Amino acid sequence: MTRRRHHLALLATPLAASLALAPALTSTATAAPTAECRLVKSEDTQGGKATFTLEGREFTAVKKVTITTTPGGEPVSSSDVSPEGTFTAQNLPDDTYFATPTDSPNAQPVQCSKSGKKGKGDKDREKDKDKSGRTPAVSALTTAVTTSPEKLDCTKKQRLDIALTGTISAQGSGKVTYRWVQDENTARDPATITFKKAGSQPVKPENWTVMVSTPVIGTAHIEILSGPSKGKKSTAAKIDVPCQ
């Protein structure tokens, strides 16, 4: 007898529908005509020398950019681009820079201007920053899942504990607000993690408990809610607990 599988999600997208939507998700990544970036002097220093932050906006339909000092030159840095088309690259020396989308081989580099003052675009982005005045860009997210038990006795209803862990990697100091999302449609309460410097930190573990008597399948991921990486998501961790 075939057992019914218990889905954590209330609804699941049929495979045929997913395949039908796939072509619409494909796009050629080129920087929009309004794309711009600027080099702004940072408050931080390295070895007593001033450092600079490269800030880009209006890089629509772009996932990542490489930073060079000449068009088509060797990359000196790279940065993920947020769904809103913004990016930051921190701790750079004073120089001339170009930002080039990496998603398309035909993308044209955008020359970055120099500015010692914050313009209107900077002030708009600051609305997303926390009260500390800093919300660093997020460069990477990881997630993992463990379950207890690993297999179910499907002859009776029993408790299933699901433990979720993850890490967030930030490009500078400040606070990052995030949340866990279950099966793409159920969001958990937001949480905040504080970075004293650039690097990776574990997020607070998330624990879910369900009572089931059938196999369980689902997903969970982390979504960033603040700053230049707002909307960035981790790869979904798969939850799959079969019967014994």
Please give the average per-residue pLDDT across 14-26, as a whole number. Answer: 30
Cα angle 220, 225, 229 (rounded to 5 degrees) comes to 100
Residue-range domains of the chain with CATH: 36-126 (2.60.40), 136-241 (2.60.40)
Task: Please check whether residue 55 is in contact with residue 40, taking contact to mean a CB–CB distance below 8 angstroms.
Answer: yes
Query: Could you tell me the pTM of the whole model?
Result: 0.48
Q: How far is CA 215 from the centre of its chain?
A: 30
Please give the average per-residue pLDDT across 75-81, as a whole number. Answer: 90
Q: What does the H/E/C string look like for 112-133?
A: CEEECCCCHHHHHHHCCCCCCC
Distances in Å between the Cα of 35 and the Cα atoms of 53, 117, 200, 221 are 17, 19, 29, 30
User: Cα–Cα distance between 208 and 188 in angstroms, integer?
Assistant: 11
Please give the average per-residue pLDDT across 135-147, as a whole number. Answer: 92
Whether residue 149 has a cis bond before it, omega within 30° of 0? yes
pLDDT band at 46 (very low <50, low <70, confident <90, very high): low
Task: Please check whether residue 61 is in contact with residue 39, taking contact to mean a CB–CB distance below 8 angstroms.
Answer: no
User: Cα–Cα distance between 216 and 147 in angstroms, integer?
Assistant: 11
The reported pLDDT for the residue numbered 5 is 58
Residue 125 has pLDDT above 60, yes or no: no
The reported pLDDT for the residue numbered 184 is 74
Percent of the chain with pLDDT over 90: 37
